[in-house]
Protein backbone atom coordinates (compact mmCIF):
# COMPACT_ATOMS: atom_id res chain seq x y z
CA UNK A 1 0.00 0.00 0.00
CA UNK A 2 1.41 3.33 -1.06
CA UNK A 3 1.60 5.98 1.63
CA UNK A 4 2.77 9.56 1.39
CA UNK A 5 2.90 11.36 4.72
CA UNK A 6 3.56 15.08 4.86
CA UNK A 7 4.89 16.91 7.90
CA UNK A 8 6.44 20.22 8.83
CA UNK A 9 3.54 22.55 8.29
CA UNK A 10 2.52 25.16 10.80
CA UNK A 11 2.05 28.84 11.54
CA UNK A 12 4.82 31.21 10.55
CA UNK A 13 5.15 34.95 10.17
CA UNK A 14 5.58 36.53 6.79
CA UNK A 15 9.23 36.45 5.81
CA UNK A 16 9.85 33.29 7.78
CA UNK A 17 10.75 29.79 6.69
CA UNK A 18 9.39 26.27 6.93
CA UNK A 19 10.61 22.94 5.64
CA UNK A 20 8.02 20.41 4.60
CA UNK A 21 8.81 16.72 4.43
CA UNK A 22 7.02 13.89 2.69
CA UNK A 23 7.89 10.34 3.66
CA UNK A 24 6.97 7.71 1.11
CA UNK A 25 6.45 3.99 1.47
CA UNK A 26 5.07 1.17 -0.62
CA UNK A 27 6.48 2.38 -3.93
CA UNK A 28 9.85 2.43 -5.71
CA UNK A 29 10.64 5.94 -4.53
CA UNK A 30 13.84 6.30 -6.51
CA UNK A 31 11.91 5.75 -9.72
CA UNK A 32 9.14 8.23 -9.05
CA UNK A 33 8.82 11.91 -9.81
CA UNK A 34 7.76 13.72 -6.66
CA UNK A 35 5.72 16.88 -6.66
CA UNK A 36 4.34 19.42 -4.23
CA UNK A 37 0.97 21.03 -4.77
CA UNK A 38 -1.07 23.41 -2.64
CA UNK A 39 -4.66 24.42 -2.24
CA UNK A 40 -5.76 27.65 -0.62
CA UNK A 41 -9.30 28.16 0.68
CA UNK A 42 -11.70 28.74 -2.17
CA UNK A 43 -9.07 28.11 -4.81
CA UNK A 44 -8.13 25.23 -7.04
CA UNK A 45 -5.17 23.05 -6.25
CA UNK A 46 -2.02 24.38 -7.92
CA UNK A 47 1.38 23.02 -8.78
CA UNK A 48 4.24 24.25 -6.62
CA UNK A 49 7.34 22.20 -7.44
CA UNK A 50 8.48 18.83 -8.73
CA UNK A 51 11.69 16.86 -8.87
CA UNK A 52 12.86 14.02 -11.06
CA UNK A 53 13.97 10.56 -9.92
CA UNK A 54 17.51 11.46 -8.96
CA UNK A 55 16.96 15.17 -8.51
CA UNK A 56 18.60 16.34 -11.68
CA UNK A 57 15.51 18.07 -13.00
CA UNK A 58 13.26 20.40 -11.05
CA UNK A 59 10.39 22.69 -11.90
CA UNK A 60 8.66 25.44 -9.94
CA UNK A 61 5.65 27.64 -10.33
CA UNK A 62 6.79 31.19 -11.04
CA UNK A 63 5.41 32.56 -7.78
CA UNK A 64 7.83 30.50 -5.67
CA UNK A 65 10.96 30.61 -7.80
CA UNK A 66 13.89 31.88 -5.79
CA UNK A 67 12.07 31.27 -2.50
CA UNK A 68 11.24 27.54 -2.45
CA UNK A 69 13.58 24.62 -3.04
CA UNK A 70 12.55 21.03 -3.64
CA UNK A 71 14.99 18.25 -2.81
CA UNK A 72 14.90 14.52 -2.23
CA UNK A 73 16.81 11.91 -0.29
CA UNK A 74 16.27 8.58 -2.00
CA UNK A 75 18.02 6.73 0.83
CA UNK A 76 15.31 8.02 3.18
CA UNK A 77 12.41 7.85 0.71
CA UNK A 78 11.70 11.47 1.52
CA UNK A 79 11.10 14.61 -0.48
CA UNK A 80 11.44 18.07 1.01
CA UNK A 81 10.18 21.54 0.27
CA UNK A 82 12.25 24.30 1.81
CA UNK A 83 10.15 27.45 1.88
CA UNK A 84 11.85 30.77 2.56
CA UNK A 85 10.61 34.36 2.51
CA UNK A 86 7.07 33.15 3.02
CA UNK A 87 4.24 35.41 1.99
CA UNK A 88 0.63 35.63 3.08
CA UNK A 89 -0.40 34.17 -0.26
CA UNK A 90 1.57 31.00 0.45
CA UNK A 91 -1.06 30.03 3.00
CA UNK A 92 -2.56 26.71 1.88
CA UNK A 93 -2.71 23.01 2.48
CA UNK A 94 0.39 21.51 0.90
CA UNK A 95 0.26 18.05 -0.65
CA UNK A 96 2.99 15.81 -1.95
CA UNK A 97 2.34 13.53 -4.87
CA UNK A 98 4.11 10.85 -6.87
CA UNK A 99 4.08 9.73 -10.47
CA UNK A 100 6.06 7.59 -12.89
CA UNK A 101 7.60 9.35 -15.84
CA UNK A 102 8.69 12.90 -16.46
CA UNK A 103 8.37 16.01 -14.34
CA UNK A 104 4.97 17.52 -15.09
CA UNK A 105 2.83 20.22 -13.50
CA UNK A 106 -0.68 18.83 -13.95
CA UNK A 107 -2.14 17.35 -10.79
CA UNK A 108 -4.20 14.77 -12.67
CA UNK A 109 -0.96 13.21 -13.92
CA UNK A 110 0.08 12.30 -10.38
CA UNK A 111 -1.11 8.95 -9.11
CA UNK A 112 -0.42 8.92 -5.40
CA UNK A 113 -1.21 11.69 -2.93
CA UNK A 114 -0.63 12.48 0.71
CA UNK A 115 -3.21 13.87 3.09
CA UNK A 116 -1.68 17.32 3.19
CA UNK A 117 -0.16 19.62 5.78
CA UNK A 118 -1.42 23.10 6.60
CA UNK A 119 0.86 26.08 6.15
CA UNK A 120 -0.40 29.37 7.51
CA UNK A 121 1.53 32.59 7.01
CA UNK A 122 0.55 35.49 9.24
CA UNK A 123 1.32 39.19 8.98
Residue 56, Ramachandran bin (φ over 0: left; ψ between -120 and 50: alpha; else beta): alpha
Per DSSP bridges, beta strands 10-13 and 117-122 are: parallel
> Residues 94-116: pLDDT tens digits?
999 999 999 999 999 999 999 99
> Residues 33-91: pLDDT tens digits?
999 999 999 999 999 999 998 878 999 999 999 999 999 999 999 999 999 999 999 99
Q: Supply the pLDDT for residue 55.
A: 78
> Residues 12-25: pLDDT tens digits?
999 999 999 999 99
The DSSP secondary structure of 45-57, one letter per residue, reads: -EEEEEE-TTSS-
Amino acid sequence: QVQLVESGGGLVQAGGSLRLSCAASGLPFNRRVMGWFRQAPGKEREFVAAISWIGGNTDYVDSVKGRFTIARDNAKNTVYLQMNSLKLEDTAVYYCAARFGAVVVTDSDYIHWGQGTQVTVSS
